[in-house]
Structures are given as structure tokens and as C-alpha cells.
Amino acid sequence: MSYLFAAAGTGGHVYPALAVAQALMARGVDRDDIWFIGGHRLESTVYPREGFAFVPLELQSLQRRITMQNLTLPSTVWRASQTARRELQARGARVVLAMGSYVTVPVGWAAHRLGVPLLLHEQNAAPGLANRFMSRWADGIFTSFPGTGLAGATVVGTPVRRDLVELRRADLRAKALQRYGLAPGAAVVGVVGGSLGAGVLNQAVAAMANSWSGPPLQILHLVGARNVGTIDTSGSRVPWTVVGYEDEMRWFYAAADLVVSRAGGLAVAELAATKTPAVLVPGTFGGGHQRANAVRAAEDGYAVLLEETELDHLADVVARLVDDPLLRLGMSEAAPSVGSAADDIAEAMLRSHG
């Protein structure tokens, strides 16, 4: 008998699922009874690296425009659902937790047809297509924010890995600075565009670094593995460390005094969990769900919302925050408590099969 996670695509889906898996193990579930299903993106390396069984599906994600790829989607989803059904049966799945993204529909549908309890988690303030579609067959729905419009949902927050929930920045700071070759003293501005990076954010940071005239700072920039070769730091007026991808994010948050970030559900939750003040630049894709996340964080007081159309003001916003430690402290203290979501969902998974 096993516990199945359908979580794929980006870190915003993958890492919350890992947090719930960790919570299951803390409750006595054996690692061998937990397995993941997904495609060939980030999930195909992260789950095996963490020691979990992983089953790949041949499945493309839905394009938000008319394309030839979308014309073949129904048959692709059907084949993936058949594969998922065979795997659920073979592994004796007790319950399925789907985190949204392109694997939710075929795996969720397979679970429904087999009578296996299906739970959903939505990380964003505005729910994605997959979770909206599958919510009518779900046995339980969990969300990170209130008011998502998913009927019967329970608000639990976003599952965040335990090492971030329990982060003690002061204990890790010196080693974190050493890890990235940063100097003590000057403020560190961390920049992250998500697990795949964000080209528009990378460009804005380059413009800021090359024209900086504000208080002393240094930049720690997670650019996404595919963007490492596109970043030119030669004209920077400040120390600028470029990293492709960081799979141990506790070091990034321990080093950063301020973070400039996209506003995916996981990023917003990790910033809150680590009490890190932020400038959030929501992407315009995905029906605007990132903007809804950023608005919530700004209303809570631990983030500043900066639209993509306002990125030419990034240096001014960063300078104001770097130059005012008391303002950053107030933002840190305003961050809401985060930490029980993984536990709440793990308990629901254990209850769902009696």
C-alpha cells in the first residue's frame, strides 16, 4: 500500500509535495511507501535525488493558445491516465495528492475511476486550470489562500520544507555568505525568478547592477540553469554572484537581507516562512495568479508589489529598502506564520483511507 503524489513542472509544485512527503515520514510512513508521478521536467531529477520512487508519464502541458500541440492533448491525457491507472493498481495506492499542473488531470482521473481518494492542493490565490477541472471529483481540497473559488476548500497555506520553516538565519549566515563568495557587512539582495528563472527579471537586475549609485550592496542571483550563460556581470558596479540553480534554498535565504522575486505560491510562502522582506514582481502569465499572490503578501506587509511595467523603478525600490534596516525589520515581523500546511495535509492523507 502506498501514498501517491502527482506534482510536476516547476518548483512551485514539486517542493510543496516534498514537504508533505516529509511530514508523512515524520508520522511513521516508510519512504518506500511514498512515490511520485510526473513528466520529464524538474520532478524527474528532484524526486530520485531525494530517494523517492518516481514514475514518469509521457504528457505535455496545456498551451494557453491555439496550437497543434493542444490538438493532440486529449489522446495524450487518455494514454497518461491509462498508465497512471496501471501504476495505482500495481502499487496499491491508498490516496493520491495532486498539486495542480499538467499531471493532475490524468492521475486524478485515474484515481477517481479506481475509487482511490483524491486530494488536491492549490498553491496560488487564483486556482489553475487543472485543479479547477478536477475539483468536482476531489475528496478533499486544500488551498494556500482564502477565496480561491474552489468549493469546499480548506485553507491550510502552502507546504514548506521543514528546513525553511525552522530556518535560523543567524546560525547559518556566515556559512551562507562563504558558500556564495559574499562579504560580511554590505546588504545582500537575493534575486530569484523561480526554478526556471525569469528573463525579464534577469534583465532588470542587470540594468540595476550596471547603473547602481545607492547604498552598498551585493547581489546573489539565481538565474535558472538555462540562463547562466546569458548573464554578463562585467559592467556591474556592485559585487554580483550568479548561480544557475540552488536545491538547498536555506543557504539562499540565510544569505539574503532582501529578496527580489517572482510571486509564485511557493516563493511567497518561503519568503513568509523565512521572514524575508521582498520585492515581488508577478509574472503576467497563467491568468494573473502571481499578481493575486503578490497582492496578498503586500497586504500582509512583508512584500512590496512591483509590476513588470514598473521594473525601471527597481533600483529605487531596492535602494529605499536597503537603506532602511528598520523598515526591513518591520516587514520581517509582519510575515505571517507558516509551517502547519504540510502537517495538515499529511494528516488528511492518513485519515482518507481509514
Q: How much is the pLDDT for 30?
A: 97
Residue 230 reports pLDDT greater than 60: yes
CB atoms within 10 A of CB 253: 23
For residues 83-108, average pLDDT: 92
Q: Which residue has the higher pLDDT, 139 or 338?
A: 139
268 in the same domain as 279: yes
Same domain, 10 and 124: yes
Can you give the pLDDT at residue 109? 93
| Nearest-angstrom CA–CA distance, 138 and 97 | 10
Q: Are 7 and 123 in contact (CB under 8 A)?
A: no
pLDDT in tens, 63-78: 444 443 443 457 777 7
My answer on whether 271 and 288 are in the same domain is: yes
Quick one: 17 and 74 in the same domain?
Answer: yes
Mean pLDDT, residues 107-130 taken together: 93
- Asked if 258 and 301 sit in the same domain, the reply is yes
Shared domain for 346 and 264, answered yes or no, is no
Report, as an integer, the average pLDDT of 113-123.
96
pLDDT given at position 59: 65
Instruction: Say how far apart CA 95 and CA 344 lie, in whole Å.
Output: 15
Q: What is the extent of the structural domain holding 179?
A: 163-334
Of the candidates 204, 177, 342, which has an alpha carbon nearest to the alpha carbon of residue 269?
342
Residue bearing the bigger pLDDT, 286 or 31: 31
In a shared domain, residues 167 and 313: yes
Mean pLDDT (whole number) for 33-39: 93
Q: Which stretch of 86-100, 127-141, 183-197, 209-223 has the lowest confidence by average pLDDT?
A: 183-197
Looking up residue 253, the CATH number of its domain turns out to be 3.40.50.2000
Q: What residues contact residue 276 under an 8 Å CB cut-off, 6+ apart?
A: 190, 253, 256, 258, 259, 270, 302, 332, 335
The pLDDT > 90 percentage for the chain reads: 69
Q: Which residues contact 218 (CB under 8 A, 6 or more apart)?
A: 182, 183, 186, 187, 188, 189, 238, 239, 240, 241
What value does the mean pLDDT of the chain take?
90
Query: Are 134 and 177 within one domain?
Result: no
* pLDDT, greater one: 101 or 19: 19
Q: What is the mean pLDDT of residues 108-135?
A: 93
Amino acid in position 268: V
Question: How do strand 93-98 and strand 118-122 relate by DSSP bridges?
Answer: parallel
Question: Is the pLDDT assigned to residue 353 strictly greater than 60?
Answer: yes
Residues 312 and 171 in one domain: yes
Pair 181, 311 in one domain: yes
CA distance 318 to 115: 52
Number of domains the chain contains: 2
Q: How far apart are CA 264 and CA 280, in angstroms?
A: 9
**HSE-up of residue 309 (Cα within 13 Å, Cβ side):** 2
Burial of 28 (0-12, 13-18, 19+ CB in 10 A): exposed
Among candidates 254, 226, 257, 258, which has minimal Cα distance to 242?
A: 226
Higher per-residue confidence, 101 vs 345: 345
Residues 237 and 282 in one domain: yes
Same domain membership, residue 189 and residue 136: no
Query: CA 294 → CA 202, 301, 342, distances in Å?
Result: 19, 11, 22
**Taking a C-beta distance cutoff of 8 angstroms, is the pair 214, 322 a contact?**
yes
Helices 11-26 and 341-352: crossing angle, nearest 10°?
70
